[in-house]
Structure 1
Amino acid sequence: MTIAEATPDFEEGMDRADRAFLGHPKGLGYLAFVEGCERFSYYSMQTLLVLYMVKYLLLPEHASGVFGLEWLRGWYGGIDGQPFASKIFGDYTSLVYLTPIAGGFIADRWLGRRATLIAGGLIMAIGHFLMAFEGAFLFALLALIVGVGLFKGNIASQVGELYKPDDLRRAMAFQIFYIAINVSVIAAPLISGTLGEKVGWHWGFGTAGVVMVIGLILYIMAGPWLPADNRPAKGAAATASEPMSRQDWLRVIAVLTLVPVMAIALLTNQEIFNAYLVWADQHFQLTFFGETLPTSWMITIDATASFSMLAAVAAFYVWYGKRRREPDELGKMIIGSVFTIAGGLCLVMAAATQGDGKIGLFWPVMFHLLNSIGFAHILPVSLALFTKLAPKALNATIVGIYYLAFFGANKIVGEVGTWYSSMPTTSFWLFHVATAAVGLVAFILFKLFLAKRLMGEPGAA
């Protein structure tokens, strides 16, 4: 018996009287906390993975005990050290954005999103705990890739279903949901990162596993307050969809064109978790009053800046929109690319002015601030653009395609990160500035030549 069968009046209960959580349905509080737990576990891995490999696991005395590592090294062409770590990181972080497509398919066709999500949470927790065993490192990464794929696409869809179509609280619900994500990104480096670097790597990974288990237990307990499951009935016939028009196909082509552009434009931001952390660990001045701060705290600085700038940029456009016409999605993405370029140039300046000593935190902090303003203009806005371009018949599919940009960005980051050890640092970061410039030019061309034809944007050529 499903939850929907146990509570047949659930849909009728989704009304404006349900304000148990900050004026929203109680289920939102559960979903936000569960998503926060999952993102805490993911960003714990993001924060620690490269540092763990470079400073510990890939050292000869430890690498020999990792099952399958020599085969993987051969697959990558015999590379070692930091380039090897970068390649592993790139494949891991790209695949976690590819597998949710399969996770959504499994939920829609066979298991339903609840069973799929619970399976994903269990597999993720197993992956985190396997990180305690050095020999099982590659199996741990595989479990995490599969687990995130089953989990990620099947929780956000439940948020919207807590509300009736005309309920104006829906937009704010997603903002609350993303606040939980941002809090987790800030907390993960402070807790798991500090434990991993200061106490022991396995303490950091283990903490992520414990938090994931807590989130999974809470999700199971939240059943009565969640929307009905979408598990397909046996023998149910598929409903026919409306045929695609020529305009619809042009929009799909535009979306597919934007995916690689987005991947290139996101490169600087995604590099923060890879070569940037190795650079910071080796060259940043992180010792204050005799105490060396964990390198992973740079991620907390970035996450705090991102959280602050998301709020600040949103508030700015509320103010600006009352006085002048607010830029459209592509206009904001163009503005964001300019800030991303400026942020990348801060890293170039940090490398160029280093001299013989350590790099002070002025230029890195300026990078995080400017890059976060760029992030606030590109990431949320680009998702809105993709959904705006999406034909009705392919709305959910287009959202899945959107995440392929992150798959591509992280895959490229894994490749480009291997250059860090052999390329002058100024050239390394200038390359990232160039990728942001490519994004800027592509967004301008898209706005000038395609926006009016596809979306009827005023001001387009």
Structure 2
Amino acid sequence: MTEAAATHSERTAHPKGLAFLAATELAERFSYYGMTALLALYLVKQLLLPDHAGQVLGLAQLRALFEYRGPISNQAFASLIFGWYGGLVYFTPILGGLLADRWLGARRTVILGALLMVGGHLAMSFDASFLAALVMLILGSGCLKGNIAAQVGALYPPDAESLRARGFTLYATGINIGAVLGPLATGSVATLYGWHAGFALAAALMLVALCIYLAGQRHFSDTGPKRGDRLVLPPLTAEERRRTWALLGLIALTIPANIAYPMIWNIGIVWIDQHVDLLSPFGAVPASWFNSVESFSSIAVAAPLVALWAWQARRGREPGSIVKIGLGSAIVGAAASLFALGCLAATADGRVSVLWALAGFIGMGVAFMWFWPILLALISQAAPAKFKSTLMGGAYLSLFVGSTLMGWVGTFYDQMSNTAFWTLDAAIAFGGALLIFLARKPLHRALAPAPSG
């Protein structure tokens, strides 16, 4: 009876390592989202102005590269920089996964990534080193992102699908707590003391993330090779190849949502700064604070969602992971539609009620909890063990492609009406949701475990 009770506890309670990994990501996301909340406005309102642009090493050459088809506006240039930065941040995790799987192991790779990110945030405190800072942040994020998520998945037994999904939802909640606090803190500091002070605060929180991770190492598993060894992986079996291709297909189907969703961090913040009525009884609210609204809504909906899914699981009625991801993509489209409706309801002087912006950002936060942590949990469950970190990093390829395309779509912002632009953003997400629902049955068959015997 005691042994049975212990086994039941292991299958219903979350491991201690989850708290440390979630806290690490909380502090890391504080720094990342704090910096991201400032980036689009910093580019448009300061860095790309003539007095500052000439001081940035390599910026003139980068602009010449982006203008290969003709001159572009500062707004379009800022959107492309934001999109490529966001995209490359999510491309490098696959390289970080390979580094962990074949050479360093997850722990050492995460530590290397944290150190690079500290340096990158510090370099953001100076105009001249802006592009070098982005490079360090891109490389550091690649080492850190997929490997922490893979370590979360490794904490759970292979057959604990529902518990693992709830664990990833709680992990994503830690991400969102950091994402709430980051924009509020860096936005306030930037308003009071300047852009570079806000970036310096992000560097301090990245140091906190590193300290938390080091403190919790004894609770993490690390299946990577020992120092100096290079892991030789056996070839994938036919079943593992089938599951790998199915997971890659599902990752690709989340690209439309990952075009429409991060648009709020780029054009969304600029649109709010330019067109939304931000006056309050205490003065004008910084537009960068709206990034916290989206993250706060993810936190608020997390507990009800976890409870709902657990209740449905006990009755055998919980939606499958693929259906959840499709619903999340549809919610992204609905949230973007609220921005378009707000533009239609603007006052005579073109000001949009803050309620429309709040509703849209809240909707995006709800959508995030339906599709992104569920995708990570599904990959953690279904990916071949010898390829898990690489595929977990591969999940971020959806964000790479989505973010770079988001930057390109954002270049049309100052060429279209606001209503048309946000309608386009919504249509992209709805199209992705439709594709996921159409493909759900073949994907489910491909990801189902092979029958034993």
Tell me the TM-score normalised to structure 1 length: 0.85
Match of 1:421, SS? helix
Aligned ranges 1:278-297 → 2 under 5 Å: 278-289=270-281, 291-297=283-289
Provide closer, same or farther for how the CA distance between residues 67 and 251 of structure 1 changes in structure 2, counting only shifts above 3 A: same
Q: Could you tell me which residue of structure 1 aligns to residue 196 of structure 2?
A: 202
Q: Could you tell me which residue of structure 2 aligns to residue 270 of structure 1?
A: 262
Q: Could you tell me which residue of structure 2 aligns to residue 211 of structure 1?
A: 205
Deviates more, 1:106-115 or 1:31-40: 106-115
Among 57, 74, 82, the residue aligned to 1:81: 74
Among 91, 95, 107, the residue aligned to 1:98: 91
Q: Could you tell me which residue of structure 1 aligns to residue 399 of structure 2?
A: 406
Aligned ranges 1:242-281 → 2 under 5 Å: 242-245=236-239, 248-281=240-273
Deviates more, 1:435-444 or 1:317-326: 317-326
Match of 1:142, SS? helix
> Match of 1:295, as an amino acid?
A
* Distance in 1 of aligned mates of 2:327 and 2:14: 34
Per the TM alignment, residue 154 of structure 1 is displaced from its structure 2 partner at its CA by: 2.8
Match of 2:414, SS? coil
Give the number of aligned pairs.
436
Provide closer, same or farther for how the CA distance between residues 234 and 198 of structure 1 changes in structure 2, counting only shifts above 3 A: closer
Q: Could you tell me which residue of structure 1 aligns to residue 411 of structure 2?
A: 418
Q: Could you tell me which residue of structure 2 aligns to residue 299 of structure 1?
A: 291
Please tell me whether residue 145 in structure 1 is matched to residue 138 in structure 2: yes
Please tell me whether residue 375 in structure 1 is matched to residue 372 in structure 2: no
Higher relative contact order (CA 8 A, sep 6+): 2
Contact 2:77 2:411 in 1 (8 A): yes
Deviates more, 1:171-180 or 1:181-190: 171-180
Per the TM alignment, residue 309 of structure 1 is displaced from its structure 2 partner at its CA by: 2.2
Per the TM alignment, residue 275 of structure 1 is displaced from its structure 2 partner at its CA by: 0.4
Among 363, 368, 385, the residue aligned to 2:356: 363
Q: Deviations over 1:201-255 (max 9, x none)?
A: 011100010111222234334455554673425456635345324xx54444433
Q: Deviations over 1:340-394 (max 9, x none)?
A: 3322221111111213142112222222333333333222233344456545654
Contact 1:267 1:435 in 2 (8 A): yes
Among 25, 36, 41, the residue aligned to 1:51: 41
* Distance in 2 of aligned mates of 1:171 and 1:382: 9
Provide closer, same or farther for how the CA distance between residues 374 and 196 of structure 1 changes in structure 2, counting only shifts above 3 A: same
Provide closer, same or farther for how the CA distance between residues 171 and 331 of structure 1 changes in structure 2, counting only shifts above 3 A: closer
Contact 2:158 2:381 in 1 (8 A): no
Q: Could you tell me which residue of structure 1 aligns to residue 3 of structure 2?
A: none
Contact 1:100 1:152 in 2 (8 A): yes
Provide closer, same or farther for how the CA distance between residues 447 and 202 of structure 1 changes in structure 2, counting only shifts above 3 A: same
* Distance in 1 of aligned mates of 2:247 and 2:261: 21
* Distance in 2 of aligned mates of 1:250 and 1:171: 22
Q: Could you tell me which residue of structure 2 aligns to residue 6 of structure 1?
A: none
Per the TM alignment, residue 173 of structure 1 is displaced from its structure 2 partner at its CA by: 5.0
Per the TM alignment, residue 115 of structure 1 is displaced from its structure 2 partner at its CA by: 2.9
* Distance in 1 of aligned mates of 2:135 and 2:380: 31
* Distance in 1 of aligned mates of 2:146 and 2:63: 32
Q: Deviations over 1:86-107 (max 9, x none)?
A: 1001111111111112122223
Deviates more, 1:62-71 or 1:96-105: 96-105
Deviates more, 1:288-297 or 1:387-396: 387-396
Contact 2:275 2:351 in 1 (8 A): yes
Provide closer, same or farther for how the CA distance between residues 370 and 163 of structure 1 changes in structure 2, counting only shifts above 3 A: closer
Provide closer, same or farther for how the CA distance between residues 197 and 301 of structure 1 changes in structure 2, counting only shifts above 3 A: same
Among 214, 220, 229, the residue aligned to 2:214: 220
Match of 1:134, SS? coil
Match of 2:147, SS? coil
* Distance in 2 of aligned mates of 1:346 and 1:224: 46
Q: Could you tell me which residue of structure 1 aligns to residue 118 of structure 2?
A: 125
Deviates more, 1:29-38 or 1:298-307: 29-38
Please tell me whether residue 187 in structure 1 is matched to residue 177 in structure 2: no
Tell me the TM-score normalised to structure 2 length: 0.86
Among 327, 330, 333, the residue aligned to 1:341: 333
* Distance in 2 of aligned mates of 1:169 and 1:106: 28
Contact 2:149 2:392 in 1 (8 A): no
Per the TM alignment, residue 295 of structure 1 is displaced from its structure 2 partner at its CA by: 0.6
Please tell me whether residue 32 in structure 1 is matched to residue 22 in structure 2: yes
> Match of 1:296, as an amino acid?
S
Per the TM alignment, residue 456 of structure 1 is displaced from its structure 2 partner at its CA by: 6.2
Deviates more, 1:407-416 or 1:33-42: 33-42
RMSD between aligned residues: 3.0
Please tell me whether residue 177 in structure 1 is matched to residue 171 in structure 2: yes
Deviates more, 1:423-432 or 1:254-263: 254-263
> Match of 2:172, as an amino acid?
Y
Per the TM alignment, residue 407 of structure 1 is displaced from its structure 2 partner at its CA by: 0.7
Deviates more, 1:80-89 or 1:353-362: 353-362
Match of 1:296, SS? helix
Contact 1:117 1:155 in 2 (8 A): yes
* Distance in 1 of aligned mates of 2:445 and 2:166: 32
Match of 1:315, SS? helix
Identity of aligned residues (%): 37
> Match of 2:179, as an amino acid?
V
Per the TM alignment, residue 326 of structure 1 is displaced from its structure 2 partner at its CA by: 2.8
Provide closer, same or farther for how the CA distance between residues 252 and 67 of structure 1 changes in structure 2, counting only shifts above 3 A: same
Gaps of 5+ in 1: 1-15
Among 298, 317, 321, the residue aligned to 1:325: 317
Provide closer, same or farther for how the CA distance between residues 227 and 240 of structure 1 changes in structure 2, counting only shifts above 3 A: closer
Per the TM alignment, residue 50 of structure 1 is displaced from its structure 2 partner at its CA by: 0.5
Q: Deviations over 1:266-311 (max 9, x none)?
A: 2221101000100000111111125011111111111111222233
Per the TM alignment, residue 26 of structure 1 is displaced from its structure 2 partner at its CA by: 5.6
